[in-house]
Structure 1
């Protein structure tokens, strides 16, 4: 018996000189279950004249095929060429069979159980065929809100076990009618083994009810809800992975009422539009953005608010962008049918709690917010939020990885095939966790901020669900250095229970490792440069980092440079009150007397003079609740507060930096000479031996500009450009100093600060122009949502050498 393995799309006949019928066992790995792969194999086998069978098993799809050598070769090539739209072939393995064919046709046979190594596919947006059916009065699924097929519909949100069969989903309680069963059992039908298949006769039902629990009259709940939305109501919608709250996005009063009741003072709301024509009323998406909006993942896409018409001012105050998605399910499509403007469609929760997924819980938690509920009786197996993405430098980049993306496994680079199985716990904010093993990483859907009690409980529950769903048996647990992260504490408890080692991974090393893994950097590759910029992370010296330049591979890192550490007076309060960072940064650059003498005419000087400066000075001098941090996120807060942006308080994470970015004068950014960019100094003589970016010259130039009356948008542009130039200069300086077996011409960029589009494009563009190979995030977020992937690969790499 011979074995032949090749990536998807590559194949060569294993026995071209053999004449007459031959047999092969063909193993297909990847996302090949629950996506119509077996009926595609069946159809192609019949078209090619191949006999045998195909089945699902715990490793993917297994095919036994007999035909002459060239027929089998044509069959294999057609598998890659005509792969179903939701499938992803990672590898095709071919084994020659010695036995003769025992079949006269080609059959689909029952699934086999065993240890799970195949992927669960993400939930997918309604396909064109299903959309046409619900719009066709002659079709039996006309206006049926749960229409789906193997090319679309729920997956992660309903699956409870592997194999992905109906009995293992939340559709198990709905018995198929004769018509649906005929489709389900017909290999030639696109609903063959579509596990959620249903119709109005046998499937889930939708209804409208008041906040008091009374069901509304009428035969079409979606039409009734749509009418209520157009008349100013707030509607709670049971969506694919959780409840959502909706209102008319052009109704100022409705938007303001939703903000007040939801307790979401300023953070932007997501929007839904019926079609691209409606989106174009408010934005001018380019071709890449249009493609992302229409993709099978169907994320919320961040677009510039540059259309001819305006949404209500309360939807996305201060940011200059709008987050649009198209209807992802038949229910949403029917709801939007008669709405040609846009709806706010935001998570069904209050404040930072996780959205509701249960009907009774929704009635209890959302009853004071929603006027009516659009309910249904299909259970949601797990909460799955809407994903968020943005096109930057012409490429889609995921900012929040959830519906449509998770839990599609990421193939790990060369060298990870023999590493131990790892559970990585992620961070504290924007949490995800990761299961790694068998040369792939399964990053969970976005879970959120673990400081919230309900999110924390959901996190613990989700970890347990994934471990069962994927039959993952960790040989190590990876977690962050920070002693107070709840994810760390849970990880230690699990490791103790399982009696497996714990691998502690420094926060910024995890950021860079995630970037390297998603870009295919091999486990044994030479160490490369990395820049990790974020709000803060716990350093291996016990201080708070956030502006780091490293030489890193998967096994370890060396810190080469940083931004100047500045105090955070008040600790966590400095994150919520940007003026504290402004004061600390300005006092690190000047003394109060000199600052007042030079800049007494500025608004920021008058504001800070009214603050308790003596107390702050004592706290900073004595290091009382004023930890030093090299955080670039806090530098952004300081600059924003100095310019009067979110000075006193931020109402959501990153608000000051986001609103500062939105203010940037694009003409000044593009056309002004680099000589106008604010200068930073690179100091090479620090006591700790690290090179340091000193912002003091930037502060002098920025404040002088304000004295001269330079506009805030121009100041913001000069700050962004100057910061980018300083980062690139530091990378060039460090690259010139590196010796030995290192990759000095590659640099990985990671951390939440790089979700600032202007800074990212400036840094990546300038590094590329300087001859560096720039590694960036696309599939996982640059923010803490990608930490778990980095933790997992670091732990796996260390485990290969022995913990």
Structure 2
């Protein structure tokens, strides 16, 4: 019960955060009416502005509700109040959006279709029955349709669709779930579906959806337009269709993700924990990597994820997806669909309808599309559950552009990441906004998308960067793009940025940590290719405490694509003859073997590398698992898959050698991989199963992580370890390392909000450059 008062007060309340497009104004309206308060609420470019007048106790209760129980999709960052003169009155109204005011608001990510909308879509009595674009304040497109802020319909790609009288009434009714839901639509006001097949008349609406389902059931490959771009779709249980999609897309063995209609079907194709189920059903609806269930009652073609221990699974997140699986009464359709990005590997996802017809024409048999434009491309997010919590692999749809609070305020700046799994990140003050996944910087389209994405982030945040931060690699296209910008420029070492990404997302202060950065490739301070690094790091700087001993990387990318080359390099460094009974030797053609021997003997076209990723490749090849890689980390992924069950049964570990000069030398401790390589080769020649070799190797790497952390603690007194880098996407390695480190008394930080791979690098670049700027007093210009 509220205490009454004869006095009235009036407060102006500024709410900042993710408060537009999430039902915040109707929430304010309903709460104000409940407490009999007068006033108004509007959106402006800084967030939400409220004026409340009434009983002081009621105003205080309102503020408690606002802070503790905001709408489900809202993120309240700050609530500022001030007293203003009482005006009188009893009404409360929702005002028009104010334009041109100073400040900053936050844009919402795209949100999966809510249960209420799905129920309406399946109800024959509802006017939106089977409507492919049903949405409300609590769900639907946001980030991918926003063209400017404040967030109103005129500032989205729905601006061209005039609301019918029924939708307009809902839009203007504060008591309705669709009050000011900007993408609101129905069959009368659009958007509209269209199904295209070359040489046939186009079909629309219900007929288009029925034709698409029939085509998928018949084994056809379709391009389907979603929230953030086109997907390539086929029946995941049809071996021929999956093989044909793989052939047309030139996909190699890289796994496809699959979409299933519900959680029960997900449990039929993969082993599913409660944590994984929660991640699958979250509003973000990421692709979740799950352990494949070989004996499940629902069949998935082996060619969906050949040789891979995991299956990427996601649930429908748009009405179009739900309708593809069909409603009661529809003809049977596939229960598991391949749902992979509509692009060529590494490139940005295709969003434009004309591009989809031209570029995807050689791949697909038809297009299911709609006429709502996509303003920015946004690929599906990918995540897994490790060590009891989520780990992002690709942070994109459903998460971008949610901000990450920074431990220390920074000046306005933009970081452009690296050339693989590129994302960019913009920051000002206490927040950083990560972009969606862009792709690999291999062509002009990717570079153009980087520029467009950076521009979109600037518009959404109002940040005008005075500093652009990039990787130190002199050959990166992202670095060259940064160098062309007409502002100050700064560079951050690759592995330092990896560790800083962990520290930043955990809100870590200025204290140094033991940073362990394991990945495939990163330009080192000495010009070598680093990737097996132990750093004593803080945001401002780092020192190299330990690293894997250098071995030659023969032929650069050739060694990455052909793990047998890396195996022969490691065998040579370890003093192991190229025995003809070793699989890696057999798979290297005699002429290439001769050239490779010359390279390793002379150092020609060889760069020294300390890469843990390349060591995984070498062990995989020596053990006979994978000699040629069709996609990044394939050799390591397959080795991990074979090792999982054996890891629990085999206590034996291969032992690394550790020498070097301690922290006083330029390189710190040097880890000798020779003992491991010699043991792996001996076991392979003895015919030991690859799973056993892999389990022993994984245990050896975990032992190495703990040993190096112990050595660093003895030397520095530090007891916090930060783990990052693409190698720590390995669930077996990460989970075991976290467990062992904690049992050894360490505090363990790992990536939970951004990927440990290069997709999280931009956040680390920002944190490092921001701290360096504060320490030096001026931006470090290049």
For this structure pair, what is the TM-score category when the shorter chain's length is used for normalisation? Answer: over 0.9
Q: Supply the distance in 2 between the matched residues of 1:276 and 1:440 (Cα, whole angstroms).
A: 35
User: Is 1:406 the counterpart of 2:406 in the alignment?
Assistant: no
Indicate if the aligned counterparts of 1:55 and 1:110 stay in contact, CA closer than 8 A.
yes
User: Does the alignment pair 1:355 with 2:314?
Assistant: no
Deviation at 1:17, TM superposition (A): 13
**1:307-346 deviation line (CA, Å, top 9, x unaligned):** 5243101100001211111111011111112536200011
Give the match for residue 226 of structure 1: 213
Q: Tell me, what secondary structure is at the counterpart of 1:650?
A: coil
Determine helix, strand or coil for the equivalent of 2:392: strand
Cα drift, residue 373 of structure 1: 1.1
The alignment yields a C-alpha RMSD, in angstroms, of 1.9
The 5 Å alignment of 1:736-775 reads 736-738=714-716, 744-775=718-749
Residues 379 and 217 (structure 1), Cα distance of their counterparts in 2 relative to 1, 3 Å cut: closer
Equivalent pair of 2:287/2:382 in contact (CA under 8 Å): yes
**How many angstroms apart in 1 are the aligned matches of 2:599 and 2:213?**
56
Within the candidate set 708, 711, 715, 2:693 is matched to 715
| Structure 1 counterpart of 2:491, from 496, 504, 510 | 504
Q: Work out which of the residue numbers 364, 369, 372 in structure 2 matches 1:370.
A: 364
Counterpart contact for 1:665–1:714, Cα < 8 Å:
no
Matched, 1:640 2:620: yes
Matches within 5 A, 1:81-160: 81-95=68-82, 97-113=83-99, 114-160=101-147
Q: Which moved more, 1:305-314 or 1:159-168?
A: 305-314
The answer to whether the 8 A contact 1:116-1:470 is kept is no
| Cα separation, 2, equivalents of 1:171 and 1:388 | 28
> Quick one: distance in 2 between partners of 1:446 and 1:78?
36
Q: 1:234: Cα distance to partner?
A: 0.9
Counterpart of 2:608 in structure 1 is: 628
Alignment of 1:776-787 (within 5 A): 776-787=750-761
2:642 and 2:102 map into 1 onto residues whose CA distance is 53
Q: CA deviation at 1:504?
A: 0.9
Q: Is the 8 A contact 1:211 1:367 kept in 2?
A: no
Per the TM alignment, residue 420 of structure 1 is displaced from its structure 2 partner at its CA by 0.8
Aligned residue in 2 for 1:549: 534
Question: Aligned pair in 2 of structure 1 residues 103, 566: CA closer, same or farther (>3 Å)?
Answer: farther
* Matched ranges for 1:20-99 at <5 A: 20-95=7-82, 97-99=83-85
SS at match of 1:172: coil
What is the alpha-carbon distance in structure 1 between the residues aligned to residue 325 and residue 607 of structure 2?
A: 50
Deviations 1:72-97 (A, max 9, x none): 221112123332221111222232x1
Matches within 5 A, 1:194-343: 194-212=181-199, 214-216=201-203, 219-306=206-293, 308-309=296-297, 310-337=299-326, 338-339=332-333, 341-343=335-337
1:393 shift after superposition = 1.4
- 1:178 to 2:157 alignment: no
Q: Is the 8 A contact 1:116 1:162 kept in 2?
A: no
Residue 651 in structure 1 maps to residue 638 in structure 2: no
Per-residue deviation, residues 511-537 of structure 1 (Å, max 9, x unmatched): 111110101113xx2111111111111
98 and 30 in structure 1: CA distance in 2 versus 1, 3 angstrom threshold: closer
In the TM superposition, residue 461 of structure 1 has moved relative to its aligned partner by: 2.0
| Post-superposition offset of 1:678 | 0.7
Q: Return the TM-score normalized by structure 2.
A: 0.95
Matched, 1:682 2:653: no
1:703 pairs with one of 681, 684, 690: 681
CA distance in 2, matches of 1:539, 1:213: 57
1:205/1:605 Cα in 2 relative to 1: closer, same or farther (>3 Å)? closer
CA contact (8 A) 1:583 1:608 kept: no
Residue 595 of structure 2 is aligned to residue 615 of structure 1: yes
Q: Distance in 2 between matches of 1:359 and 1:116?
A: 36
Give the Cα–Cα distance (whole angstroms) in 2 for the partners of residues 17 and 341 of structure 1: 59
CA contact (8 A) 2:387 2:738 kept: no
Long gaps (5+) in structure 1: 1-12
Distance 2:597 2:232 in 1: 46
1:442 correspondence with 2:442: no
The alpha-carbon deviation at position 64 of structure 1 amounts to 1.6
In structure 2, C-alpha distance between the alignment counterparts of 1:195 and 1:151, rounded to whole Å? 11
Paired residues of 1:211 and 1:373 also in contact (CA < 8 A): no
The one-character-per-residue Cα deviations of 1:252-306 (angstroms, maximum 9, x if unpaired) are 0010111111111110001011111221221121111111111110011111112
Instruction: Quote the offset at 1:107 in angstroms.
Output: 1.8
Q: Is the 8 A contact 1:211 1:363 kept in 2?
A: no
The Cα shift of 1:172 comes to: 0.5
| 1:115, distance to aligned residue in structure 2 (A) | 4.1
Would the alpha carbon gap of residues 454 and 347 (structure 1) be closer, same or farther in structure 2, given more than 3 Å must change?
same
1:422 to 398, 413, 418: 413
The residue number in structure 2 matching 1:9 is: none
Pairing of 1:527-542 with structure 2 (within 5 A): 527-542=512-527
Q: Quick one: distance in 2 between partners of 1:195 and 1:502?
A: 39
Contact 2:113-2:319 at 8 Å conserved across structures: yes
2:702 pairs, out of 724, 732, 735, with 724
Partner of 2:329: none
* Bigger mean CA offset, 708-717 vs 190-199: 708-717
The answer to whether the Cα contact below 8 Å between 1:131 and 1:330 also exists between their aligned partners in 2 is yes
Native 8 Å contact 1:211 1:370 kept in 2: no
Q: Is the 8 A contact 2:512 2:538 kept in 1?
A: yes
Cα distance in 2, alignment partners of residues 302 and 18 from structure 1: 57
In 2, distance between residues paired with 1:704 and 1:624? 29
Is 1:566 matched up with 2:557?
A: no
Question: Greater CA deviation, 469-478 or 35-44?
Answer: 469-478
Aligned partners of 1:89 and 1:218: how far apart in 2? 39
Are the counterparts in 2 of residues 115 and 471 from structure 1 also a CA contact under 8 Å?
A: no
Q: Deviations over 1:722-749 (max 9, x none)?
A: 111111101110111015xxxx011111
Q: Secondary structure of the residue that 2:638 maps to in structure 1?
A: helix
Following superposition, the deviation at residue 235 of structure 1 comes to 1.4
TM-fit CA distance, 1:544:
1.3
User: 2:235–2:334: 8 Å Cα contact kept in structure 1?
Assistant: no
User: How far apart are residue 609 of structure 1 and its match?
Assistant: 8.2
Q: Any idea what SS the aligned residue of 2:302 has? A: coil
User: 2:582·2:622 contact (CA, 8 Å) conserved in 1?
Assistant: no
Q: Which stretch shows the higher mean deviation, 606-615 or 650-659?
A: 606-615
Which moved further from structure 2: 446-455 or 106-115? 106-115
> Can you list the C-alpha shifts for 1:28-83, whole angstroms capped at 9, x where unaligned?
22111111111111111111222222121222112222233332221112123332
Q: State the partner residue of 1:3.
A: none
Question: Within 2, Cα distance between the matches of 1:501 and 1:478?
Answer: 9
Instruction: Give the unaligned 5+ runs of structure 2.
Output: 327-331
Deviation at 1:552, TM superposition (A): 1.1
Cα drift, residue 247 of structure 1:
0.6
Deviation by residue 1:116-155 (Cα, 9 ceiling, x = unmatched): 5211110010001110111011111011101101100001
